[in-house]
Amino acid sequence: MKAMAGKAALGDVKLHVLNGSLDPFEQKFGYNYDYVFVFKVHDETHKLTEAQTTYSMRLILQRLAGAGLETRMFYSTTRDLVFCKIRASYERLCKEADRIDLKLDPEVRTKRVLASLLLIFALILLVIGAVASIFVFRIFAERGRPLYEYTTLNMNGKDVPLASPIASTLNAIQIQVMNGIYTTIAVRLNNYENHRTDTEYEDNLIAKTFLFQFVNSYASLFYIAFIKSTVDVCTDPKAGGCIYDLMVALGIIFCLRLTSGNFFEAVLPYLKRRLRGKCSKPATPDDGETRAMSIVEDQMTLGVYDDMGVFGDYNEMIIQYGYITLFVISFPLAPFLALLNNYFEIRIDAFKLAKESRRPDPKGAEDIGTWMTILEIMSTIAVITNVAAAVFTSNTTFSGVSGDIKMLAFVGLEHGVLLVKYFLALLVDDVPEDVQLQLDRSKFLVNKVVFQIQDDDDDDLVKGNKIKVDLTVYDDDE
């Protein structure tokens, strides 16, 4: 099959920029993609024009690759048209990529990346300010007379302070709100940087998201664990110092995150679908009888599974992993709650894919990519933070010990645990032996069935090497 670009002139290959709800592509085929490259396909039995011969599909794909535009997927909607989705920003297609071989200026890319970093660090400072304001509120609520009356509960003639739970609840709300706002900003910044491939695009988006959400999600916990005892008074020093405050804060933040996450992932989509079902009116024929919606019509009322859905699921699990590992010494119940949540999370995600959204586009992946690197980094940080909390924050493990002894204990314990972690990583295979055996078997079958690789001929092999090999099978052979 030969192909040429739609609306292509000799010496110039154009890109179709399709965007907007009134797009003719969407009107004709019922769905829309932001950026579509159109190939006009012709049968080889027909005589090709000079333009059709010049602009073969192979040449066009080579120009796309040379321009750094990675092809996402191909769709053949009619007999003679093929639509190819590519990874490029709308701004680039409109202003800079009229010709396929035009590349983005490296200086422009550098300026955009620097601008994104400046904005990200500004947002991180905003988060630090929000966390600081919450702790200032807590200090005034515990010590200030006007706020103390509103944040204290009288039970059986005894005042029960609620400043700590209220501050932790406000912090949990702040984390959720800021994470939601920043996710939208991070995607726009990543689009503005205009990365060459999907892999590069996703890696940079992961880095942006993790950098901000790490500070936003764990800043208050780091403050309570390592700074609060020097600038403020712990709520109950007899209960283990600031470890008690850390337990309360981590418990409230983690539980509220699990609750809100399940609500927005399971309950809210279900309510939306019920509302759409009540508002939608089935077609009424001329005889006045109401016609039931077909399966296809019913599925069209479902929401579209966003390409970023998998990214969001990975990001949610990474943040949860931080909550159950970074300060698990203060809240040992966190891993059990995470296990219980993930038991339902798997089923909620399966229900969301099967019942609450249209069928997503299948995508292959070799591994989880940059997420694995982040997990390794967080595991190392978790070792350091838990040992530091046990040595410096708790009043029960190293009470009455000098600072020098605590530092020596911290360095020794931290290095010891990291060494154990390193040796366990060496001893435990990344891929189990039985799994590797199945992978090798699958690869062998693909080579034989798909690529038609011939078997080695034993007779020719023996003749070529001039080696006499006894190929007889005996009864005592195992």
- At 308-352, the pLDDT tens digits run 778 888 888 999 999 999 999 888 999 999 999 899 888 888 887
* Boundary residue ending a domain (307, 329, 362): 362
254 and 150 belong to one structural domain:
yes
Place of tokens 């990346």: 113
Q: Tell me the pLDDT band of 35, cut-offs 50, 70 and 90.
A: very low
Do 91 and 229 lie in one domain? The reply is: no
CA distance 214 to 337: 21
Query: Angle 212-173-241 (CA atoms, 0-180°, nearest 5)?
Result: 85
- In the prediction, which pLDDT does 245 show? 84
In whole angstroms, what is the distance from residue 303 CA to residue 42 CA?
36
User: Is the residue at 438 inside a domain?
Assistant: no
Give the residue with greater pLDDT, 29 vs 110: 110
pLDDT for 323: 93
Q: Note the pLDDT of residue 123.
A: 92
Mention every residue, 6+ apart, whose C-beta is less than 8 A from residue 166: 138, 141, 151
Model confidence band, residue 16 (pLDDT cutoffs 50, 70, 90) = very low
Query: Is 72's pLDDT higher than 70?
Result: no
208/138 same-domain check: yes
Which range marks the domain in which residue 20 is found?
Answer: 2-95
Instruction: Answer yes or no: is 337 within a domain.
Output: yes
pLDDT at 89 over 80: no
The reply to whether 100 falls in a domain is no
pLDDT at residue 321 in the model: 94
CA distance 406 to 392: 7
Q: Report the pLDDT averaged over residues 180-196.
A: 87
24 shares its domain with 124: no
Task: Flag whether pLDDT at 394 surpasses 50.
Answer: yes
Judge if 255 and 201 occupy the same domain: yes
Tell me, yes or no, whether 163 and 238 share the same domain: yes
- The yes-or-no verdict on residue 204 having pLDDT over 80 is yes
- Is 90 in the same domain as 206? no
| Number of structural domains found in the chain | 2
Report the distance separating Cα 111 and Cα 104, nearest Å.
12
Q: How would residue 468 be classed by pLDDT, with cut points 50, 70 and 90?
A: low
If you average pLDDT over residues 269-277, what whole number do you get?
73
Tell me if 416 is assigned to some domain.
Answer: no
Q: Is residue 397 part of a domain?
A: no
Residue 147 has pLDDT above 70, yes or no: no
Phi-psi region of 208 (alpha: psi -120 to 50; beta: other; left: phi over 0): alpha
Q: Model pTM? A: 0.68
Tokens of 330: 């203060």
Q: Mean pLDDT throughout 116-127?
A: 93
Question: Which of 60-74, 217-231, 263-277, 415-429 is predicted with the least confidence, judged by mean pLDDT?
Answer: 60-74
Instruction: Please give the biggest Cα pair distance in the chain.
Output: 100
Q: Which of 39-53, 126-140, 462-476 has the lowest mean pLDDT?
A: 39-53
For residues 91 and 176, state if they share a domain: no
Distance CA(316)–CA(258), nearest Å, equals 10
242 has pLDDT over 50: yes
Do 173 and 199 reside in the same domain of the chain?
yes
Q: Are residues 132 and 269 in the same domain?
A: yes
Task: Indicate the residue among 362, 382, 397 that finishes a domain.
Answer: 362
Pick the most confident of 4-13, 144-153, 272-281, 444-453: 444-453
Calculate mean pLDDT across residues 419-448. Answer: 87
End position of a domain, from candidates 60, 95, 130: 95
First to last CA, the chain: 54
153 and 89 in one domain?
Answer: no
At 210 the three-state DSSP class reads helix
Q: What is the pLDDT of residue 127?
A: 92
127: in domain:
yes
Give pLDDT, residue 116: 92
The four Cα atoms 71, 77, 78, 83 give a dihedral, to 10 degrees, of -20
How do beta strands 152-155 and 2-5 pair? unpaired
Is 398 within a domain? no
Residue 373, number of CB atoms within 10 A of its CB? 14
CB 370 within 8 A of CB 203: yes
For residue 355 the two structure tokens come to 């019942």
Residue with the larger pLDDT of the pair 30 and 148 = 148
Residue 125's pLDDT is what?
93
User: Over the range 231-241, which residues count as b (16 or more CB within 10 Å of their CB) and which as e?
Assistant: ebebbeeeebb
Nearest by Cα to 112 from 191, 184, 209 = 191
- 16 with 6: CB under 8 angstroms? yes
pLDDT band at 429 (very low <50, low <70, confident <90, very high): confident
- Position 74 confidence tier, pLDDT thresholds 50, 70, 90: very low
Domain co-membership, 65 together with 212: no
220 has a pLDDT exceeding 60: yes
Residue 256 lies in a domain: yes
